[in-house]
Amino acid sequence: MKKKAKGKIRFRIFFLIWFAICILAGCAWIGHFYKEGWQECRTASPRDTLAQKEIESVEYRLKQTDEQGDSVPVRLAGLRMSPDDYEESAWVLYQPETGEFYTDQPCYAAYVWQNGESKQYYLYDTETISRLYDSVHFLYGGEPLLYSIYVKDDQFVPGELFVVKDSYLPFPRYQTEGRKIAGEWIDLTPDNTDGWTKICSDRSKEYLASYHDVYVSESHLEESAKKTSMDGNSYLSGAGLIGCANAPEADAFRQKIRSELADEYARIRENQKQRYKDAENGSVSAETLDEYHVADRKELLEFYQRSDKAQRRDLPKQMYKKFQYDTTGRSWNFSFEDADVHFRGEDWMLYHFQYINPQKMFYRLFLVFLPLMIPPLLVFSLLIGLLLAVITYSVYSRRYDIEAYRRSLTGALAHDLKTPLSVIYGNAENLRAHVHPENADEYADCIMENVTHIDEMIAGVLGLAQLERRTAPPMKDNADLAALLHTAFQRKTAAMKQRGLTLEESGNLPLRGNADMLTQLAENLAANAVQHASEGGKITVSAEKNTLRISNPYTGELDVKALCEPFKRGDAARGSQSGSGLGLSIVQQIAALHHLRLTITAKDGIFTAELKKTMLPILKRK
């Protein structure tokens, strides 16, 4: 029990060590992943130019403003929708010749079914937009959970809103259908609702505040209306963000464009007119011509025209550069794109400015992916740690058992050699001192017998070591183990008669192996049975199918587990001190080499050694 307890402690120690190593390795891998992610976030930037396919898409969307009556700012906001608060965009549609321009106006669109058709109402208030935006669950459709709104003209204001808690965590994606979302309902109804019409959702509050696959689209309105036959009623289907409006830098840039672009354009045009007037009516000095590398007044005017056109064309870009240097958001990455588009029969310039915040981008990456990585890491570390602990414990236990086995074998051999050596030393002293000279031959015979006994012990140990190394000759002989036992018992007929033992045999057990080794096995089993059977007892050898049993009566108490240990004799009552004490150890090793399992039992005064064939090789015990 003590050895088993120590083994459990060792196994737990191995498991904890390997588990900790796996956790550290996993953390290092996650750290590398986030390091690479942070590097990508830090260096993230949009493309330098818009692809031709995207430009055509922009022109198509702008064309719809005239066909469907939507405002150009809303169409611009919908060009590149990004629900992520780490990435913001601002669009400017600009006519360099006339100075006319539009900037995108991010807003929320409420989708309703009203008077038998689908309609959209818009929310432009920046503060309210941010309030709705912060309340959504990004991995749950990315839309605010509104139960009611108030509409007038083409605008709406929110009424009852469900504010979601822990909106960044990814687990709700895998939640049970219909499970309640963590959060609470708040009422944003304005104080004065005169002239506004209240429209409620076609879903209940309980439905909205639970996990469902919700996707807002205009087709949903028509399908829902057909299913519920609510053509004559008005109801809210949902709301979605058009464009991005959560970054202060993006909003500040839009306001700067709207407040300064027209004035800056007017100032440029005024300067241009004055230059043209001076060049046309006044005298042009030679220094001025040399400064602009022109030959005469005509070339100077042409140069002014090209320069003024380029200046008007690049006006948004110059304002953007000024804004970029003036902003305090130094941690943001700014980038710029421009393209020529055709709108309302004219050539316009489309400017796209994008803002990327590496800190917020990485924060989102951290919140979304880390919870998904931790459970697999723990499970993986647990399984790998358990497997490595089993392997390590098996290797360690095997080495430990080998060392313990060798120490036990050495100690037992030294102990058993002391008796014959003492006898040899005593008889040698008698011979040297000429004590009882008439017994000199007996002293000499006793010395020779003990030397022979020591030689047998050493030979047995060497044979056992050879068997344990499994360096035995090839096993290609056919033999009958029952017949070999019969021959072995025949050689011990005299000893059996002296002790009054009888033998009963039945059956046979054919084997393919090494004849010399099987003969040694049979000799050891026969010698063990004859030496340790009770006086006048009967030895029984029976073989059937794949099993052979040798039984004999015994007296006293036996330690069955110790009988196969080298130099173990179980109990003094088993017989005299003759024999090497290696018989059953050798039997066990030879049996294992021949795919035989040795089982020893001692019950009700009957000692039984059983050899049974096995399909798989038997690992030798150390």
For the residues of 106-159, what is the DSSP string, one character each? -EEEEEEEETTEEEEEEE--HHHHHHHHHHS-TTTTT--EESEEEEETTEEEE-
Pick the CATH number of 470-622 from 3.40.50.11540, 3.20.20.70, 2.40.30.30, 3.30.565.10: 3.30.565.10
So where are the chain's domains? 2-42+361-412, 52-248, 470-622
Contact at 8 Å (CB) between 233 and 224? no
What does the pLDDT average to over 203-213? 78
pLDDT in tens, 244-269: 756 666 677 778 788 888 888 888 88
What does the pLDDT average to over 318-322? 77
pLDDT band at 468 (very low <50, low <70, confident <90, very high): low
Give all strands of the β-sheet with 596-603 in edge-to-edge order: 502-506, 538-544, 547-553, 606-613, 596-603
Residue 180 phi/psi, 5-degree rounding, is -65, 140
Burial group, residue 511, by CB count within 10 angstroms (0-12, 13-18, 19+): buried
Give the containing element (helix H, strand E) for 544. strand 538-544
What one-letter code names the amino acid at 207? Y
Q: Which residues contact 615 (CB under 8 A, 6 or more apart)?
A: 595
pLDDT in tens, 582-617: 667 777 777 877 888 888 888 888 999 999 988 655
Q: Which residues contact 508 (CB under 8 A, 6 or more apart)?
A: 480, 481, 482, 483, 543
Q: Which residues contact 577 (CB under 8 A, 6 or more apart)?
A: 419
Rounded Cα gap, residues 125 and 510, in angstroms: 97
Give the containing element (helix H, strand E) for 355. strand 346-356
pTM of the model: 0.49
Say what the pLDDT of residue 465 is: 64
Rounded Cα gap, residues 65 and 63, in angstroms: 5
What one-letter code names the amino acid at 256? K
pLDDT band at 199 (very low <50, low <70, confident <90, very high): very high
